[in-house]
């Protein structure tokens, strides 16, 4: 019996608290004007704490939106793994310390070059062999030309010797001797022509024969240049002044570090321009309608409590997206530009709290939220000073004030609602 009575007491108390609760659904801090409170003794019953009567007045209803953001550089150079033509992956052997300030031309990244150095030695050997082959071919071609010239000279000498008997008159020699002399002369003449053709053909073919080995040399030089180009890509120097920020290792789900084997195109590090830092935050669709580019904001760093900076909204995306791969919440991207950068404390990646003041209504009839009740039918009401119940129509509200569109006027006195009226009243 005692337990049942206790449960009944808890239920009655819960219902009373639910009926007296203010309008819910908003946890926003705001700055707003309040109406005039009546003296503590003007109204109120025994056991009441503080003033119970409230004089309705005009007030401003403000709303403050809080956005969590991150400092990022609008201008940043991202360095990726080079596309090495003679390899499929590269191993990191050196990284400049993350967060360090570097100048243009400083060494910041290096990749393992042992495999390329071995390939370069082989390519250099092939190039040397091709050069030696050219010299050897040129010498052989020249020697062959000299031999053919000697052969041609001998054939021409033989032709001259064979031509002497051939000049004798036919009547002075026997017929068979004359015919033999003519045959020898024709043979010598044919041999001389053949030797000359061989020499001419050899001289004409010499450039082509040298071109074949020249192609081998050119190919060897090209291979060597490719390897030298790849070697140059393995040592990366800072293209600009900035601060070193490591990229993410997608495979191991951590920051890139020395010893990682990476594939072409993967980001190794970035060099943000600190003078171009902005705040990138994400806004939920319920608050996007209150924001617009150009609005003034207050910025605060979690790492520097008690200090704030001014800024303004640069842009808001018009299409929602996911905040991250693991998140299903849709948000809109907001970019805020600080009015002044304090590079002594502001670093890329720092968490920033962005506060935006928004005016919901100006000089409207408004009352504190605790003076509004809700009946069983879902209607809002207030209790006037005469204890009469007045149904009201609320407008915009924040965590302290509610705009009253219908049912009250400035100057009316109201009391805290103690109980909800019947649904049919």
pLDDT single digits (tens) 177-192: 878 887 888 888 898 8
- Count: domains in the chain: 4
The DSSP call for residue 26 is: -
Of 247, 270, 293, the residue that ends a domain is: 270
Of 358, 374, 390, the residue that ends a domain is: 358
Cα–Cα distances in Å, from 313 out to 30, 61, 67, 155, 295? Answer: 20, 22, 12, 98, 5
Instruction: Give yes or no for residue 284 having a pLDDT over 90.
Output: no
The domain in which residue 102 lies consists of 76-106+238-270
Q: Which CATH number fits the domain that encloses residue 329?
A: 2.40.30.170
Of 18 and 401, more confident: 401
Q: What is the largest CA-CA distance in the chain?
A: 172
Going through 20-75 in order, the beta strands assigned E by DSSP cover 36-37, 53-55, 57-73
The pLDDT, as a whole number, for residue 157 is 87
The pLDDT tens digits of the residues spanning 362-402 come to 999 999 999 999 998 989 999 998 888 999 999 998 889 99
Same domain membership, residue 200 and residue 188? yes
Q: Is residue 423 part of a domain?
A: no
The pLDDT, as a whole number, for residue 321 is 81
φ, ψ dihedrals at 338, nearest 5° = -65, 145
Instruction: Give yes or no for residue 297 having a pLDDT over 70.
Output: yes
In sequence order, the 6+-apart residues with CB closer than 8 A to the CB of 400 are 30, 32, 368, 369
The pLDDT, as a whole number, for residue 47 is 39
The DSSP call for residue 271 is: E
Q: Is residue 60 part of a domain?
A: yes
Same domain membership, residue 296 and residue 192? no
Same domain membership, residue 230 and residue 130? yes
Q: Which CATH number fits the domain that encloses residue 37?
A: 2.40.420
Q: What is the mean pLDDT of residues 202-207?
A: 88
Same domain membership, residue 136 and residue 166? yes
Sheet containing 235-237: which strands, arranged edge to edge? 235-237, 107-111, 90-95, 261-262
Of 194 and 49, more confident: 194
Q: Is residue 1 part of a domain?
A: no
Sheet containing 245-246: which strands, arranged edge to edge? 76-80, 267-272, 245-246
Instruction: Give yes or no for residue 109 having a pLDDT over 60.
Output: yes
Same domain membership, residue 187 and residue 133? yes
| pLDDT classification of 30: cutoffs 50, 70, 90 | very low
Same domain membership, residue 135 and residue 215? yes
| pLDDT classification of 43: cutoffs 50, 70, 90 | very low
Q: Is residue 8 part of a domain?
A: no
Q: Is residue 30 part of a domain?
A: yes
Residue 149 tokens read as: 């010239």
Query: Among the listed ranges 21-25, 54-58, 344-348, which one has the minimum average pLDDT value?
Result: 21-25
Same domain membership, residue 293 and residue 368? no
**Residue 136 Rama label (left phi>0; alpha psi -120 to 50; beta):** alpha
């Amino acid at each position: 019996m005692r337990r049942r009575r206790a449960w009944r007491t808890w239920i009655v108390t819960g219902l009373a608290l639910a009926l007296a609760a203010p309008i819910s659904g908003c946890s926003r801090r705001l700055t707003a004007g309040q109406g005039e409170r009546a003296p503590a003794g003007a109204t109120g019953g025994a056991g009441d704490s503080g003033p119970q009567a409230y004089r309705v007045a005009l007030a401003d209803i403000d709303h403050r939106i809080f956005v969590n953001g991150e400092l990022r550089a609008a201008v940043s150079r991202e360095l990726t793994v080079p596309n090495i033509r003679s390899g499929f992956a590269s191993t990191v052997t050196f990284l400049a310390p993350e967060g360090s300030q570097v100048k243009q031309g400083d060494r910041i990244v290096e990749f393992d070059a042992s495999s390329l150095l071995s390939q370069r030695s082989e390519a250099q050997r092939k190039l040397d062999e091709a050069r030696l082959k050219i010299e050897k071919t040129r010498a052989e071609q020249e020697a062959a030309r000299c031999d053919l010239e000697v052969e041609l000279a001998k054939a021409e000498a033989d032709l001259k010797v064979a031509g002497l008997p051939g000049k004798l008159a036919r009547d002075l020699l026997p017929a068979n001797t004359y015919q033999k002399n003519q045959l020898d002369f024709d043979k010598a003449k044919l041999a001389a022509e053949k030797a000359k053709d061989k020499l001419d053909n050899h001289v004409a073919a010499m450039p082509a024969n040298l071109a074949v080995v020249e192609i081998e040399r050119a190919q060897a030089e090209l291979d060597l240049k490719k390897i030298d180009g790849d070697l140059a890509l393995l040592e990366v120097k800072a293209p600009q002044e900035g601060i070193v920020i490591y990229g993410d290792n997608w495979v191991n789900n951590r920051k890139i570090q020395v010893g990682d084997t990476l594939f072409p195109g993967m980001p190794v590090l970035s060099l943000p321009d600190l003078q171009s830092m902005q705040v990138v935050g994400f806004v939920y669709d319920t608050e996007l309608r209150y924001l617009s580019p150009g609005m003034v904001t207050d910025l605060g760093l979690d790492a520097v409590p008690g200090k704030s900076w001014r800024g303004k909204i640069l842009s808001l995306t018009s299409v929602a997206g996911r905040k991250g791969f693991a998140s299903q919440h849709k948000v809109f991207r907001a970019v805020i530009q600080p009015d002044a950068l304090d590079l002594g404390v502001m670093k890329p990646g720092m968490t920033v709290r962005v506060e935006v003041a928004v005016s919901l209504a100006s000089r409207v009839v408004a009352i504190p939220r605790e003076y509004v009740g809700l009946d069983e039918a879902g209607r809002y009401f207030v209790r006037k000073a005469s204890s009469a119940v007045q149904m009201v129509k609320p407008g915009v509200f924040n965590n302290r004030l509610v705009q009253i569109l219908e049912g009250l006027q400035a100057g009316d006195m109201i009391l805290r609602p103690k109980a909800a009226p019947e649904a049919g009243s």
